[in-house]
Amino acid sequence: MASSPIAEADAIQLLETLVAIPSPPRQERDAVRFLVDWMAGRGLAAAPDDVGNAVGIHGVGPREILLLGHIDTFPGSVPVRREGGLLYGRGTVDAKGPLCAFAAAAASVLPPSEWRITVVGAVEEESVTSRGARHIAASRGNGPPAAVIVGEPSRWDRITLGYRGSVELRLGLRAPFAHSAGPAPLPAERAVELWQAVQDFVADLNQGRDDGEFYRFAAALRSIRTRDVGAFGEASVHIGLRLPPDASLSRLRRELSGALRNRVQSWQAPGAALGVRFSGGQEAWRASKSTPLVRALMQSIRAEGGDPRFVVKTGTADLTIVGPAWPSTPMAVYGPGDGALDHTPDEYVDLDEYLRSIRVLIRTLEDLSS
């Protein structure tokens, strides 16, 4: 396969410009249009798809290598700036860095006649909907891709094979007031008690699980909001749950709902009521490392001077959407950047690492389609 890598300055300009375009979930349109135009200007057939994903296709062959990144970012602004070889900005790591590396690599190769490379900047990955990835998984009517690389930060010399599952829990509590000088808990304190009940439930599930965080349940308190309504108080509690590979979503929903309702009933507080709502459930997924895709990535990392390593992540990613949809397709997660900087106010990527990841991806694409 002939290749003509794009200039490093062009790849860096792509990332810096895309990062400067705000694109939180459901506000990705401007970023999508820019990326589509960039890919179209470098030989890819590019356009937004039916749900707003940025899609660029290089080649026309029946065998497909899918590079699935996401173009939305965690909310919040991080001023875009260069400090030496570091580029700061929201999305430099999670995950416009990996997405731009995909686009630059795809534009740098010429697939043989029987192959095509598809780059996707998916929308709403940072939301429980994962709308972009779900559309991609459902729209391959002519069969699954031959290989999939999901774009998330793993550092240029590491390959991620698995992510935990997730589900969102929202509680709506109504509880009677009591005098603040008395012994009975106030409605806001009842809401905190429910959060503690979730923590206790998760701790019980984790008994005997000593194989690392990837194989454990976890709960995170996203928010608690309270308000006074006459003689009652109302509270909304938002909790995120992370699930290990052997977790059953249906069982978790059923047993956790029961435990929380039993807790409210034990209060014997007249008029107390609890609403329980789960959303965005996705089970964990772990890919095999014994595939041509993983071998190609490892060889490419070594060719760039690295010592490839495997990791699994305790968060979630679109791998948990497309993995179960195409269980026989070789998959891996790859991209530049330190995942510890995800969602932080100091998010940045080392541009040398970003350029190295592009070179790794170019070699990998050439190897897979040769």
Instruction: Please list the active-site residues.
Output: 72, 125
Alpha-carbon span 321 to 42, nearest angstrom? 29
The structure tokens listed for 328 are 């026989």
Residues 174, 178, 184, 186, Cα dihedral to 10°: 50
- 248 phi/psi in degrees, rounded to 5: -105, 115
Write the CB contacts of 165 (distance below 8 Å, at least 6 apart in sequence).
242, 243, 244, 245, 247, 249, 281, 282, 283, 284, 285, 316, 320
Q: Which of 53, 46, 34 is nearest to 151 (CA)?
A: 53
Alpha-carbon span 156 to 164, nearest angstrom? 21
Please say whether the beta carbons of 101 and 335 come within 8 A: yes
The structure tokens listed for 302 are 């070594």
